[in-house]
């Protein structure tokens, strides 16, 4: 009997610890439709009896809110946007948002979120724009972003993600802009974007990508950028046969050999590849192939610091540098036009790569 009672108490406490965060002790200044107010407790239709609420922006300069408990924002049928930026927010519990049929914008950037659990964003079907940038997100549960049929922009940049998974996005297929730059992602899984018919922008800059799986990219895409990763080659099979990309940026990786066949498969308008340790012959061949195909090979914008050999690691092409002390000499096409890398170096005031290397490295 005694034992039974004891475990009963344990169970109650356990439930309390896990589930009993409530709005009771929340008291924060907030802009409601851009007008400053103070809220006590949860935010719902009883908080503002005589008002149509479109916008809620918690004023985090004067208060911090660490946990959003279940039903934190509920039953506001005209609410469009919820902004909780820079609040030291650590946890959003599943069910924190309930019955918000019109909400399109949510911004939780610059907080301390570590995990995104399934069920946090499951009751906001109208959501279009979600910003979770600049948190500490390391873990995302399966289905965390599932069943969001209108989600267009998702910003997960500046977090600590190491992986990505298609199972975070079941039935969320209308994403147009996808930002995961400045994380620690090392691979893009096969078919990651399959079925994302509207995707226009994919930003993987500043990650730790070492390889891209097969069948990742397809369709017509405005921008795919991977600069500052650890890629040593580009897997042709990552791209579907009919892909077309307006801006394709693979600069500042460790790519030493890029198959010109890549450009038989993909149609690219503007291409950036500087800052890779290309062998000169390979680089020259690629430039020629690209010129014939009408691809614009972009070189970094000039700045005075480049002329003084600063920023060389990020902006000067690396042709030959790591390979057998072999340097490109100036190469010109049939009309005597000096192209790509050499042209860029000439504009910086260097004779050729050897000259740049001797002065700057
Ligand atoms: C309420 O206050 C307690 C004690 O300070 C804290 O542990 C809890 O996280 C707070 N709840 C919310 C929802 O902020
Ligand atoms: C997300 O928020 C961050 C920080 O507040 C901002 O810099 C960034 O531009 C936002 N992302 C988008 C896609 O608007
Ligand atoms: C990259 O991934 C592709 C497809 O999964 C595989 O065939 C290839 O061997 C990998 N390359 C490297 C360098 O790991
Ligand atoms: C490149 O230039 C160096 C001198 O700067 C010359 O010795 C070498 O033969 C040239 N190489 C080619 C392939 O033209």
Task: Please tell me the number of the ligand nearest to residue 23's CA.
Answer: 1
* Mutational pocket test of ligand 1: of 17, 21, 28, the residue with most ligand atoms within 8 Å of the beta carbon: 21
CB of 87 closer than 6 A to ligand 2?
no
How far apart are the CA of 141 and the centre of ligand 2, in A?
A: 23
pLDDT over threshold 90, residue 334: no
Residue 326 scores a pLDDT above 50: no
Number of the ligand closest to the Cα of 191 = 3
pTM: 0.81
| pLDDT tens per residue across span 142-183 | 999 999 999 999 999 999 999 999 999 999 999 999 999 999
In residues, how long is the chain? Answer: 361
Write down the domain spans for the chain.
21-185, 214-361
Give me the CATH topology for the region 21-185.
3.80.10
Question: Which run of H or of E encompasses 309?
Answer: none
109 lines ligand 2 (CB under 6 A): yes
Contacts 24+ apart (CB under 8 A), 52-55: 52/78, 53/78, 53/79, 54/78, 54/79, 54/80, 54/81, 55/31, 55/79, 55/80, 55/81, 55/83
Examine the pLDDT at 207 and tell me if it is beyond 90. yes
CB of 257 closer than 6 angstroms to any ligand 3 atom: no
34: β partners = none
């Amino acid at each position: 009997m005694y034992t039974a009672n004891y475990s009963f108490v344990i169970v109650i406490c356990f439930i309390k610890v896990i589930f009993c965060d409530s709005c009771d002790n929340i008291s924060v200044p907030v802009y409601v439709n851009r007008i400053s107010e103070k809220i006590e407790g949860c935010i719902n239709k009883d908080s503002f009896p005589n008002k149509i609420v479109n916008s809620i922006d918690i004023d985090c300069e004067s208060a911090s809110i660490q946990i959003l408990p279940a039903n934190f924002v509920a039953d506001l049928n005209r609410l469009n946007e919820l902004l909780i930026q820079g609040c030291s927010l650590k946890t959003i519990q599943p069910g924190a948002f309930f019955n918000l049929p019109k909400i399109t914008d949510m911004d939780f950037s610059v907080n301390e979120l570590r995990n995104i659990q399934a069920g946090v964003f499951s009751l906001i079907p109208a959501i279009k724009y979600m910003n979770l940038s600049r948190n500490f997100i390391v873990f995302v549960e399966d289905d965390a972003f599932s069943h969001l049929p209108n989600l267009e922009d998702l910003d997960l940049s500046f977090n600590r993600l190491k992986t990505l998974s298609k199972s975070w996005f079941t039935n969320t297929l209308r994403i147009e802009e996808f930002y995961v730059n400045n994380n620690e992602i090392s691979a893009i899984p096969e078919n990651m974007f399959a079925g994302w018919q509207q995707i226009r922008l994919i930003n993987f800059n500043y990650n730790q990508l070492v390889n891209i799986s097969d069948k990742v990219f397809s369709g017509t895409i405005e921008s795919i950028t991977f600069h500052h990763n650890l890629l040593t080659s580009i897997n042709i099979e990552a791209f579907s046969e009919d892909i077309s990309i307006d801006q394709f940026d693979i600069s500042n990786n460790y790519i030493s050999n890029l198959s010109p066949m890549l450009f038989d498969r993909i149609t690219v308008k503007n291409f950036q590849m500087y800052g890779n340790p290309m062998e000169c012959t390979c680089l020259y061949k690629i430039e020629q192939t690209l010129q014939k195909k009408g691809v614009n090979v972009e070189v970094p914008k000039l700045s005075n610091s480049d002329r003084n050999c600063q920023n060389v690691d990020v902006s000067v092409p690396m042709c030959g540098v790591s390979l057998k002390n072999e340097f490109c000499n100036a190469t010109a096409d049939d009309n005597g036009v000096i192209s790509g890398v050499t042209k860029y170096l000439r504009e910086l005031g260097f004779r050729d790569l050897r000259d740049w290397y001797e002065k700057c490295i």
